[in-house]
Amino acid sequence: MSTATRPSAPAVPEAARATRYLRIFGTPVALLGVVAALYLYVDAQDLDRIEQRSLNAEYLVSRAVQHLSLSAVVVVLILAVAIPLGIVLTRPWARKAAGPVLTLANIGQATPTFGLIVLFAVVFMTWGVHTIAIVAFWLYGILPVLRNTMVGLEQVDRSVVESARGMGMSRARALISVELPLAVPVMLAGIRTALVVTVGTVALATFVGAGGLGDVINNGIISSRDTVLLTGSVLVAVLALFIDWLAGLVEDLFRPKGV
C-alpha cells in the first residue's frame, strides 16, 4: 500500500519505533552476548575429565539438536490437534463439549510435568522413551493453543461473521476467509506460549532417557559439577528465549493489516 492512500494517521511516535527496533535486534544480540560470556567462562576453567565429557562442542550440539527436534515434533502435534479442536469447539453444534474439553486440557497443564512424565514412564513402559516424552509434553502444551484458538475465534465480531454469511459465503468460506484471519493474532500468541513452554519442559526428557539439553543439566547434578549444570541451564534458557523471539517476528508478520 502506498503512503498516498493512507489516511493522516498519527505518525508512529519515536519512542514506539525505538522499542520495536530494540525488540527485533536487541534480543538476538543479548542472547549472543550471553552465549559468548558462557563460552569465555567455561574456556577459562580447568575442566576435569568428567566435565570434559559434557562440555565439548560435539556433545552439546547433538543434545541441542535432540532438544529442538523433540520440541518440534511436540509442537507440530500440539498444533495439529489443538487448532482443529479449537475450531470445532467454537461451532454452534459442538459448543456444549467446549467446557469438558477445556477442563481436561486444564488438568493436563495443571499436573506437574515431572510427575506426568514419570507416571507415563511407569504406566506405559512398553511405549518407548520418545513416545512417552512426546505424549507428556504434548498434553502439557496443548492448553494455550486450544484456549487461544477458541478465544480468538469467539472474539471475532458476530456482526462481521453474520454479514459474511448474509452475503452468501458458505460456513467454510466464512471460517477460512473471515473468522480465522481475524483470530490469527490471538492464536499466534497461544502458539508462541506453547513453543516456549515446550522448549522449556523438554529439558525434563532426560529423566525418561529421551535426551535433549536436559542431559547436560542432569550430568551436572549427578556429578556435582556446577560448570556443567550452569552450561546446561543457560543453554536451555537461551534456546527458549531465542524461540520466543522468532515466534514474535512471525506474529508481527502474520498479523492481518487493518486490525
Partner 1 sequence: MPDHMIQLVELTKSYPGQSEPAVDALTLDIPEGEIVVFVGPSGCGKTTTMKLINRLIEPTSGRILLNGADVTGSDPDELRRGIGYAIQQTGLFPHRTVAENIATVPKLLKWGTERVRARVDELLTMVGLDPAEYRGRYPKQLSGGQQQRVGVARALAADPPVLLMDEPFGAIDPLTRETLQNELLRIQREIRKTIVFVTHDIDEAVKIGDRIAIFSEHGRVAQYDTPEKVLSEPADEFVADFIGAGASVKRLSLTRVADAAVATDWPTVQRGEQPRESDREFLLVLDEGRAVEWLPRRDGRGGLPVLNAVGPDHTLYDALNAMLTNNSDVVVVTDAEGTYRGTLDMPAIQDLIHADDTTSVPRRATKGEVR
On the CB side of 221, how many CA atoms lie within 13 Å of its CA?
A: 9
Calculate the alpha carbon distances from 20 to 15, 83, 191 in Å.
9, 29, 21
Instruction: Give least dist CB 97 to partner 1, A.
Output: 19
By CB neighbour count within 10 A (0-12 exposed, 13-18 middle, 19+ buried), where does 11 fall? exposed
Can residue 199 be called a binding residue for partner 1 (CB under 8 A)?
A: no
Least distance to partner 1 from the beta carbon of 91, Å?
Answer: 16
Region near partner 1 per CB under 8 A, out of 55-63, 64-72, 178-186, 211-219: 178-186
Q: Are 144 and 247 in contact (CB under 8 A)?
A: no
The site for partner 1, by CB under 8 A, has a size of 26
Q: Which is nearer to partner 1, 2 or 126 (CB)?
A: 2
Stretch that binds partner 1, among 81-89, 136-144, 169-177, 189-197 (CB under 8 A): 169-177
Q: What is the largest CA-CA distance in the chain?
A: 73
Residue 81 burial by Cβ neighbours in a 10 Å radius (0-12, 13-18, 19+): middle
167 in contact with partner 1 (CB under 8 A): yes
* 253 touches partner 1 by CB under 8 A: no
Contacts of 120 (CB under 8 A, 6+ apart): 127, 132, 135, 136, 208
12 near partner 1, rule: CB under 8 A:
no
Q: What are the backbone dihedrals phi and psi of residue 143, each rounded to the nearest 5 degrees, phi first?
A: -60, -50
Nearest distance in Å: CB 179, partner 1: 11
Instruction: Decide whether 82 or 178 has the Cβ nearer to partner 1.
Output: 178
x-or-dash string of contact with partner 1, 131-160, rule CB under 8 A: --------------------------x-xx
Angle between helices 226-254 and 57-89 (to 10 degrees): 40
d(CA 177, CA 125): 45
Cβ distance to partner 1 smaller for residue 169 or 237: 169
Determine which residue in the list 84, 128, 162, 254 makes contact with partner 1, applying CB under 8 A.
162
Query: Any contact of residue 166 with partner 1 (CB under 8 A)?
Result: yes
> Of 96 and 257, which has the nearer Cβ to partner 1?
257
Give, in degrees to the nearest 5, the angle at Cα 63 between 223 and 46: 45
- 150 and 139 Cβ atoms separated by less than 8 Å: no
Residue for cell digits 525418561? 208
57 or 167, CB closer to partner 1? Answer: 167
Told to check if 5 binds partner 1 by CB under 8 A, we report: yes
Task: List residues binding partner 1 (CB under 8 A).
Answer: 1-2, 5-7, 9, 157, 159-160, 162-170, 173, 178, 181-182, 256-259
